[in-house]
Structure 1
Amino acid sequence: MGLAMALAAPCAHAADSSKTLDKVEVSGAASSDRKDASAAKTTVSAAELNRFGDASLVDALQRIPGLSVERSSSKGAVVSLRGLGSGYTQLLLNGDPMPQGFSIDSIAPQLIERIEVLRTATSDMSNQAIAGTINIVLKQTSLKRRGELKLAAGHYEKQFSPSFTVDRSMGSERFSYGIGAGLADLRDRWPSSSVTQSTVLGSTQPQRFQNDSSEWRRERRLNLMPSATWKPGDQQALTLNGLLQRSWTDFEAPDVRTALAGDPVLFPIDRLVTSQRADQLRVSGAWKSPVGESARIEAKASHSAVTRTTRSNFYATAADASLLLSRDVGSTLRDRSTLLSGKYSHGLSSDHALAFGWDAEFGQRAESRDQTERSPVGLPTQDLSESYTARISRLAVFAQDEWELSRQVSAYLGLRHESLSTETVGNVLDAVHSRSSALSPTAQLLWRLPDTRGDQVRLSVAHTFKTPTARELIPRRWVVNQNSATSPNFQGNPNLRPEEAWGLDLGYERHLRGDAFLGVNVFARRIRSVVLNRVQFVDGAWMEVPVNSGNAKVLGLELEAKGKLRQFLSTDADVDLRTQVARYWSALSALSGPGNRLSRQPPLTASLSADWRPAGSPLTLGSSLVFRQEALVRMSPEQTVRKSNRALLDAFASYKYSKDITARLVLSNLLAQDERQTTHYQGTTVDERTELLTSTFRTVRLTLDIKL
């Protein structure tokens, strides 16, 4: 197999001749060829991503093999690869690092071209990918006239959520342009009830109370996505892309607190009301051009801006509705970042190519928070005015060599050096300077087994890392409304060091007729300087602080299969099957006892989906079952968290009225399982346990897809 096919894959990195360059330029479909990609990856097309017509990208991501989603009601969701979130999974947008403060869930799934899931690192992407990388590729312009319109409406528990998206593209051989737009009015509810029992060690009288809450949120969202492509030559292209998002969010969390034992509660009733407006802007340009007959140069520039303004009001009252305490908080966030990158690829022969490149990112994050409190009954109050500015710069250089040694063996070698510098100043904290760097080699080997139709073995060894976030580094306090050992405040730690990992991946793949696939993959990671959050009682309040805490070992086994049912059983039914099962293990040297696992990693995840098209019928029926097993997790020597297992069952029926009109009925969360979580803190002075129960609801959603 020639190098041109490997170069068409998203992780292939060079060119060899003018003919090869032309193939790279026009063969977008080849980039999704899992079999020929130099790195282990899964590519999810727009059609597969939108099978269930989801209004939320996170809802669609949780059905992708290898990905899992951990939800936390109004606090959002964490998307994990191989069960590892919290920064271990790298998120990219069009191949570039996701800007801080940028929300992927605000992108309408219908405006996405494809999603690439890479399980191993490559040097032309940042090696901040201990678990792997999720690359979200937005829709681009098309030389052919293209138009799609989607109308949708969802309903659950008296909540109505309509949405609208349109995608239009047109152009000629040399110039094409398009625009995508989305409108959505999304509503959610999270009714919950918790019981907290706290005992001061040595005391015989525990403090026990129940908290009933009914959080709800409404988000109105607008997306605009213009793009244009100019091709002055057969192998030259200038591409411009934009993404503008504006959202208005209203959130309310009323709480009723009842003393079950011990002293009366301080706040029997409280209510948090929050309104927020957020703007997200991203513009990018890319230029590709051949250099001579066997080389190519690529250059890219992008700028991102995030602005968020929030107003929160907290009211605490007695049982007779008399005011005990009020707190007004106004905060602003402004995040700006600019990314510049370039790559030079040179084909030494039809089977051997080299590439060199660099990328640099410069950003500034400014945040302010003003708090005013008052208490008619004389409770302690605190007025605050806090602000800080963080400047972040990142510089990386890389080199890589791809060589097809024979028809059976392909090799990849890469080396990347990346440095990160952070400087933070504020009116209530000392100046903080943080610098780190990492040299990351990567080696990959693909062996196509002789005398087989599509069996192959992949081997990868890579050095990866994870840098602390600005929130983790800045020694500023984030305050909760009801402070306790199981619900502490948070403060960053400027002395945090990056986590570094060596990883090994070994996979066996069997590619059958069509796109049928069977695969097994095992992986191991050894991580140094793992960051754990320690909870301590500081200055009259419980505080959570991240600290580097020893090493961790991670192991995993993943099984995946997809294809037509008739390829596995004797049947004429037109059924597409997809299934995945993964088992994960981890252990930390700094912890002992039960629950010694990393970053809330689930022991087991599994998914099964099927689509059936009755012969001669315009109807398609489909279903998806996603399961996430949970286990006791020790977050620190003093604190453990246990969540209930989670099973999510969705189903849809789509009817194709014509080649241009399709209607879809979707039933989501059919099992409607309640979510349970137990948080336990056992320190030297306090033993506290919180049992939380959160309700979930079934959802009905109707969509209408129209091709224009």
Structure 2
Amino acid sequence: MKKQLLVAALLQAMSVCAQAETEAAVAAGTTELDRVLVTGEIAYRDRADATAPVLVYDLDYFQRFEPRTVGDMLKRVPSVAFVSDVLEYDGARLRGLDPGYTQILINGKKVPGGGDDRSFFVDRIPAEVVERIEIVRSASANRSGDAMAGAINIVLRDAYEFDGGYVRAGISHFDDGENKPTAAVVASGEFAGGRVLAGVSHQGRYNPKQKLSLRYDGPGGDLDNREEQSDTRDGTDDSLNFSYVRDIGAGKLSLSGLYVRTDRTETEHSLEYNDRYSVSRDNLLSVNDQVAKIRQDNYALKGDYVIAHGEGKTELAFNLARMKDDTRNVEQEIGYDDDDTPPSFDGYEGTLEITDLKDSEYGFTLSHARALGATQMEFGLDYSAKDRDFGLRTSEVETDEEGAPLPPYLEFDAERSTIEERRVDPYLMFSGKGTALSWEAGLRVETTRSRVESDGERWSKDYSVPLPSAHLRWDLDAANRVNFSVARSVRRPNFNFLLPNLREGEYGDNDFFGNPALAQEKAWGLDLGFEHRLGKRGVVGVNLFYRDVRDLIEIVNTGAPSETALEDFEDEIADFLEGHPGATPSTPGYPQLDADSFVYSAANVGDGSVYGVEFDLSTPLTALGLPDTGVFLNYSWLDSEVKDALGKRRFNDQAHSVLNVGFIQDLPSLQANFGVSYRRQGRAYSRLLAEEVETRYGADLEAFVEKRFGTQWSIRLTGTNLLDSSKDETFHKFNTLGEQIERDYDEYELESEQAGPVYQLVARYAW
């Protein structure tokens, strides 16, 4: 009932704004802060002046829907998909590819992340600190080349462009009755001979979800069990950011920094039954509780000093970024034996995992640009260093006594690994700009020295890759533009693929052992785009892209038996010797190892291709006599092809499509506006050895209504996930590759996860 009342209140407020027209127009005066805070104008996607294909979205494009994080912002731009839990937007998948294919930058510099695939979780950055988002579709010589799908540059607010201050405060209401606060203060002005901006924000994070899993012995087969689970993510994000700019001597000094602390608790409670509907103790198979306490600290610092002299410019820059993650994860389960009726107590077991991860990157850049007649030349050298230190401690305990507590976690198995990468990347680039044609061509050579150490053993690998790139922009006239790009890019191996540690049961009954000799994946990419200006503020564009990927990293079977196979073989020998004392391997009938599960590894064994079409539209409806109505639409059709041991498939978890559509209606006479946004992501499919997963998402509907009071106050009500979106997955599980080929199932699982709507009320005051 509470949910229906809140939806009704939101829709009623929108209706009142739409119908209450008045002849007395209120002056919509603006200040420098109005464009990001208390604005009376609808914002649209900007048209970038860069020769390389770049889409630019200022904060005002997103802000009316009150995004909490950068992830909430990115879900509205072309080609960005997510394969996360409902209402979680963490690993951005540009062109639908694995997050490791997308380079995440903050103020143009790389940042480390906690993911094994080198990805950075964009939901760790509050939307409050962002000035704009840039989608860089193709690589250039003066940027790092590990951006096969493209790059996402998160540009923080700059003291040079921002003047004044504001206070933001609000509250979010969740489907289960929980309320979480949000607050921020940002101010900017003259300081110490320059300009400074400083901000602080607090964001309450919460996501309650319900899951249902039905497991069968195969498609259309008998039910094995049903699992009902509650999964709640509860935490806070606190951030500090600053920017300082001043002239020193003949140059300009710019400093910026960001610190984000995340405290998060993930709580799961699961009940498993041997019946489709019963909740009786007579059908109970297990009770599982898992609690993970996570503490993350992220910070990024950047500084550059630019000297302009004559027809040239010299820049010296540094950057430092670090991510620290400490997680304590406890999982405890009471199991019941299904061979008895009703199931009898079978044991109580628990596992404690303590992980600590430190991932840091620092670098220096020296570059020089100057004019050579009508041509601009730029050359430079990027040095970067990455250090990743990972530790895992695991303790397992159990008891066979019903009702007894678990023993304390005292004995731990420990492992520690470090990965070091040192890069020296020189580049040379030429560019030119004419009346209609602009061009850019360059070469970057990335030289990497990699060192991997695990449990006292070391491995090393050095490699060098040339990365040429070229871009052409043709302005057909004032309204029409064509872009063409060709560039070579790379993707470095996942960290867990590099570590030569045995992980038992990583893929069904199969184990996994890393390969520190893996090479980078490499790709040639093409982008061809057309863009048309609609009036003064509208833009419509279409882009075709293609990536030819070589040295693709795939999971392979080493042929060595798994630990499970060896243990089963040892048990088989023990049983044989019990009946045949003194038997030897030459004794007739003596067991022979016939493994049905193996040790997998990773290798550069495949090639693949990625392609698609991206369309985006952002415009006021001035041509229809509706200048105060703005619409946006972007649709991406995504496809790919790769060969694995079972034949052809798409790149794993690549969504078939991404659709965003919506409108904003401004009511100048009321100093108010409202809008609606709809998002739909196509299904995705993943196939690994021993498991295949199909993923489908429900549609996501959002709405807002805003009221402004003069030029300093505004209040906004937003509703998110108004359609109770769900994530539905189908798991095809097998024990071995042979059984997977023959479709001999170990388990067939249907899982559905759902979350309710979220309502947020936010007020702003600007000065």
Alignment TM-score, normalising by the size of structure 1:
0.86
Q: Name the SS of the counterpart of 1:644 in structure 2.
A: strand
Structure 2 match to 1:248: 263
Contact 1:152 1:163 in 2 (8 A): yes
Structure 1 match to 2:542: 520
Structure 2 match to 1:551: 607
Counterpart check, 1:625 vs 2:653: no
- 1:273-672 counterparts in 2 under 5 A? 273-291=291-309, 293-318=310-335, 324-349=348-373, 351-377=374-400, 383-404=412-433, 406-427=434-455, 430-449=457-476, 452-476=477-501, 492-533=514-555, 538-540=562-564, 545-567=601-623, 570-572=624-626, 574-590=628-644, 596-631=649-684, 633-636=685-688, 639-672=691-724
The residue type equivalent to 2:471 in the other structure is: Q
- How far does the alpha carbon of each residue in 1:55-93 deviate from its partner, in whole angstroms, 9 at most, with x for none? 222112101233222223698632122222331111111
**Structure 1 residues 693, 216: CA separation in 2 closer, same or farther (over 3 Å shift)?**
same
Structure 1 match to 2:181: 162
The residue type equivalent to 2:317 in the other structure is: K
**Structure 1 residues 50, 488: CA separation in 2 closer, same or farther (over 3 Å shift)?**
farther
Q: Name the SS of the counterpart of 1:390 in structure 2.
A: strand
Alpha-carbon shift at residue 513 of structure 1 (Å): 2.3
Alpha-carbon shift at residue 98 of structure 1 (Å): 1.8
Alpha-carbon shift at residue 173 of structure 1 (Å): 9.7
Contact 1:129 1:464 in 2 (8 A): yes
Counterparts of 2:218 and 2:61, CA distance in 1: 52
Counterparts of 2:512 and 2:199, CA distance in 1: 39
Q: Name the SS of the counterpart of 2:711 in structure 1.
A: coil
- How far does the alpha carbon of each residue in 1:376-410 deviate from its partner, in whole angstroms, 9 at most, with x for none? 22999984111122222122111100012x41212
The residue type equivalent to 2:630 in the other structure is: D
Structure 2 match to 1:218: 234
Contact 2:454 2:501 in 1 (8 A): no
- How far does the alpha carbon of each residue in 1:588-640 deviate from its partner, in whole angstroms, 9 at most, with x for none? 1336667x111321222211121111241211111111111115x25236542
Q: Name the SS of the counterpart of 2:47 in structure 1.
A: coil
Structure 1 unpaired stretches of 5+: 1-28
Alpha-carbon shift at residue 487 of structure 1 (Å): 9.8
User: Larger Rg: 1 or 2?
Assistant: 2
The residue type equivalent to 1:498 in the other structure is: Q
Contact 1:49 1:109 in 2 (8 A): no
- How far does the alpha carbon of each residue in 1:529-570 deviate from its partner, in whole angstroms, 9 at most, with x for none? 222346898312987754434111222112222211123xx3
Alignment TM-score, normalising by the size of structure 2:
0.80
Q: Name the SS of the counterpart of 1:215 in structure 2.
A: strand
Counterparts of 1:503 and 1:564, CA distance in 2: 34
Contact 2:78 2:614 in 1 (8 A): no
Contact 1:143 1:176 in 2 (8 A): no
**Structure 1 residues 179, 586: CA separation in 2 closer, same or farther (over 3 Å shift)?**
same
Structure 2 unpaired stretches of 5+: 1-35, 37-44, 115-119, 277-281, 337-343, 566-596
Contact 2:299 2:321 in 1 (8 A): yes
Structure 2 match to 1:22: none
**Structure 1 residues 515, 613: CA separation in 2 closer, same or farther (over 3 Å shift)?**
same
Contact 2:89 2:123 in 1 (8 A): no
Q: Number of matched residues?
A: 660
Counterparts of 2:90 and 2:194, CA distance in 1: 39
Counterparts of 1:65 and 1:431, CA distance in 2: 42
Bigger RCO (CA 8 Å, 6+ sep): 2
Q: Name the SS of the counterpart of 1:125 in structure 2.
A: coil
- 1:95-174 counterparts in 2 under 5 A? 95-101=108-114, 103-142=121-160, 145-157=163-175, 158-171=177-190, 174=193
Which residue of the other structure, out of 103, 120, 130, is the alignment partner of 1:90?
103
Contact 1:623 1:652 in 2 (8 A): yes
Contact 2:162 2:197 in 1 (8 A): no
Q: Name the SS of the counterpart of 1:47 in structure 2.
A: helix
Alpha-carbon shift at residue 131 of structure 1 (Å): 1.4
Structure 1 match to 2:224: 208
Contact 2:111 2:322 in 1 (8 A): no
Alpha-carbon shift at residue 478 of structure 1 (Å): 6.2
- How far does the alpha carbon of each residue in 1:175-207 deviate from its partner, in whole angstroms, 9 at most, with x for none? 11121111122111221111223479xxx9978
Alpha-carbon shift at residue 476 of structure 1 (Å): 3.3
CA RMSD of aligned residues (A): 3.1
- How far does the alpha carbon of each residue in 1:211-256 deviate from its partner, in whole angstroms, 9 at most, with x for none? 22111121122111122222125x6211122222222221211221
Contact 1:238 1:288 in 2 (8 A): yes
The residue type equivalent to 1:377 in the other structure is: D
Aligned-residue identity in percent: 22
The residue type equivalent to 1:277 in the other structure is: R
Structure 1 match to 2:570: none
**Structure 1 residues 173, 326: CA separation in 2 closer, same or farther (over 3 Å shift)?**
closer
Contact 1:143 1:172 in 2 (8 A): no
Contact 1:485 1:681 in 2 (8 A): no
Counterparts of 1:43 and 1:669, CA distance in 2: 26
- How far does the alpha carbon of each residue in 1:298-332 deviate from its partner, in whole angstroms, 9 at most, with x for none? 11112222222222222121458896112222221
Q: Is 36-45 or 319-328 further displaced after alignment?
A: 319-328
Which residue of the other structure, out of 56, 80, 89, is the alignment partner of 2:69?
56
Counterpart check, 1:175 vs 2:194: yes
